[in-house]
Structure 1
Amino acid sequence: MQSFFDPAILFFVFGILAGSLKSNLEIPPQISRFLSLYLLMALGLKGGFALAHSGLTADVLVSLGAALAMAILVPLLGYLSLRRFLNGFDAAAIAATYGSVSAVTFITTVQYLDTQGISFGGHMAAAMALMESPAIVLAVVLANHARQKAKAQGIGAAAGGNTPLRRILHEALTDGAQLLLLGAMLIGILTGEAGQAAMKPFSVDLFKGMLAFFLLDMGLLAARNMGKLKGQSLGLLVYAFVGPLVHASLALGMAWVLGMSVGNTALLMVLAASASYIAVPAVIRHAIPEANPSLYFGMSLGLTFPFNILVGIPLYVQAAQHWL
């Protein structure tokens, strides 16, 4: 309950309320874009400074390996589950969305852990970047397989030809937000303590206020996307809430086996439980045009994102504290 009264979370709740009331309150897209880039830059710097202090240890490699494993496991399990009541294209698109990560959910969790005094490794920001692309690649492979199967069966319903993996990989790996995160992390590693002291007013003092402002915008967007899911099957709505819990539980089990710390485990759980609503939908819209955007975008932003921000984050942290 304490996390619910965090100012940043309350601004998110206020945004949902304002959006539900159909208020004309809105954050201009350019400002929203700036806020997201600022948060990623600040997060990358924090991670880089932490890595400069700790170095590349066995714990870092274990965490990155666990992140990569979850980035492959989650979309595959999601596709197998969703394929029972969806066509191959929608199942692949939603699996990619839930197999990738939400940077804002991760950043909010970092702030929550700082508030709770729970330590974590700065390298987890690199884990987040590592988990963004595998789900996209898997989804494109699955969609191409569905197209080939449709052609073999004489079904001409596919809206597009096979998508070249090279182009998808280029789009995923050169995404501006991801490059900024990695670039800021590299700068943090190179500059170390001197850079940390110089950038503190930017990457620390402003962080909480910027996050609150951005979560206000996210609350508005979430409220306006909930309506897209009216009339959808109950199975989809259940997956939007149960899927993240299952994915987080898998991450917890993996972290327990690997002996990861509480803070790193909580962040791995959040990454596994989150769903992309920016990078992946933008790529999937072009790579899998047969899929229905209102499903994968509406589910991730309208249902799963609010659930994780309001309920999931404290739940995952408490689970990590209890089991580790």
Structure 2
Amino acid sequence: MQNLLDPAILFFVFGCFAGLIRSNLEIPRSIAKFLSLYLLMALGLKGGFALAKTGLNPEIALSLAIALAMAFIVPTIGYWFLKDRIAKFDAAAVAASYGSVSAVTFVTAIQFMEQSQLNPNGYMAIALVIMESPAIIMAVLLANMLRHENNTAATSKEPSLKNILHESFTDGAHLLLLGSMAVGYFSGEAGKTVMQPFSGDLFKGMLAFFLLDMGLMVAKNFKEAKSNSLTLIAYASVSPLVHASLALGLCLLCGISLADTILLMVLSASASYIVVPAVLRYAIPEANPSIYFGLSIGITFPINILVGIPLYAWLAQTLVRA
């Protein structure tokens, strides 16, 4: 309940409401893009400052190893479950979307944890970076295998793995996050003090404004998401909890701290609706964008924002010794 009464979440709910009643309220695309870039820069700076303070110790390395493992486990499970239920190209694209991560969901989780005094570790932004690309690579490899199996030579030249990797790792949002982390790391505590008014004091308001825009976008895509089969709707609704539970199990097995466990659960439960769709549009043109984009933004994103984050935090607090 506390999460639902947070101003940023209330603005998200308001955005959904405004969109559903077909209000003409909208955030100009240039402003929405700026807000997205701001959140990534602030998140990257926080991660860099935290890493400069703690250093890369074995505990952090273990958390990051689990993040990397989940980046392969989630798309593998997704494709295995979906490949005989929908078109295989669509299955690969959906698996990639759910194997990758949502930066906005992660940022919202950080804010929730700070308000709940759960002390999130800024260095976990590195996990966000680590989990971004493996699922995309797996999906592209699967798509290429399917093309050869079906003997359907594409009319245009197939995108090379080198081009896919370049597109994934040099994506502007991804690059900004990495660059901001580097700036935070090298500037350290002095940089944190200087940047506090920008990356700290403004953060909550910027997040609320961005979630308002996300609410409008969810409402716009909700009707299309509902038009999918019951199997896909069930996958988009249930898979976040399944993926979060798998991450929780690995964290319990490896003795990961409470804060890192919550964030690993959130990352594993999230789905990409920015980077992955942008790459897959030309990497797997056989897949239907309305499926993998509509499910992630229209169903999974609001579930995670409204109920998922507090649920994952509660589960972790119940089972993990802080």
For residues 246-288 of structure 1, the C-alpha deviation after alignment (integer angstroms, 9 at most, x for no partner) is 1000000001111111111000000000000000000001100
Counterpart for residue 36 of structure 1: 36
* Contact 2:226–2:233 (8 Å) recurs in 1: no
CA distance in 2, matches of 1:229, 1:31: 26
Question: Which amino acid in structure 2 is aligned with residue 112 of structure 1?
Answer: F
Counterpart for residue 4 of structure 1: 4
CA distance in 1, matches of 2:218, 2:229: 19
1:213 to partner: Cα distance: 0.1
* Contact 2:59–2:256 (8 Å) recurs in 1: yes
CA distance in 1, matches of 2:153, 2:238: 31
For residues 112-148 of structure 1, the C-alpha deviation after alignment (integer angstroms, 9 at most, x for no partner) is 0000001232221011011000000000000011111
CA distance in 2, matches of 1:167, 1:157: 19
Q: Secondary structure at the match of 1:5?
A: coil
The runs of 5 or more residues in structure 1 that have no matched partner are none
1:231 to partner: Cα distance: 3.4
Q: Secondary structure at the match of 1:123?
A: helix
Q: Tell me, yes or no, if structure 1 residue 257 matches structure 2 residue 253.
A: yes
1:225 to partner: Cα distance: 0.3
Cα RMSD of the aligned pairs, angstroms, is 1.1
* Contact 2:258–2:316 (8 Å) recurs in 1: yes
Counterpart for residue 238 of structure 1: 234
1:3 to partner: Cα distance: 0.9
Q: Tell me, yes or no, if structure 1 residue 285 matches structure 2 residue 304.
A: no
Counterpart for residue 120 of structure 1: 120
Counterpart for residue 145 of structure 1: 145
1:229 to partner: Cα distance: 2.6
1:59 to partner: Cα distance: 1.1
Counterpart for residue 213 of structure 1: 209
TM-score normalised by the chain length of structure 1: 0.97
Counterpart for residue 72 of structure 1: 72
1:161 to partner: Cα distance: 4.9
Counterpart for residue 103 of structure 2: 103
For residues 65-88 of structure 1, the C-alpha deviation after alignment (integer angstroms, 9 at most, x for no partner) is 010000011001100001121111
Question: Which amino acid in structure 2 is aligned with residue 300 of structure 1?
Answer: S
Of 245, 265, 285 in structure 2, the residue corresponding to residue 269 of structure 1 is 265
CA distance in 1, matches of 2:52, 2:227: 51
CA distance in 1, matches of 2:114, 2:218: 25
Q: Tell me, yes or no, if structure 1 residue 302 matches structure 2 residue 281.
A: no
1:230 to partner: Cα distance: 4.0
CA distance in 2, matches of 1:242, 1:270: 14
* Contact 1:147–1:161 (8 Å) recurs in 2: no
Question: Which amino acid in structure 1 is aligned with residue 202 of structure 2?
Answer: L
For residues 46-78 of structure 1, the C-alpha deviation after alignment (integer angstroms, 9 at most, x for no partner) is 111111111111111001101000001100110
Q: Tell me, yes or no, if structure 1 residue 318 matches structure 2 residue 314.
A: yes
Runs of 4+ residues deviating >6 angstroms: none
1:15 to partner: Cα distance: 0.3
1:232 to partner: Cα distance: 2.1
Counterpart for residue 129 of structure 2: 129
* Contact 2:46–2:184 (8 Å) recurs in 1: yes
Matched pairs, number: 320
Q: Secondary structure at the match of 1:23?
A: coil
CA distance in 1, matches of 2:283, 2:156: 9
CA distance in 1, matches of 2:294, 2:98: 12
Question: Which amino acid in structure 2 is aligned with residue 197 of structure 1?
Answer: T
* Contact 1:97–1:135 (8 Å) recurs in 2: yes
Identity %: 61
* Contact 1:147–1:162 (8 Å) recurs in 2: no
* Contact 1:150–1:158 (8 Å) recurs in 2: no
For residues 145-192 of structure 1, the C-alpha deviation after alignment (integer angstroms, 9 at most, x for no partner) is 1111111xxxx4967553210000000011111111111111111111
Counterpart for residue 93 of structure 2: 93
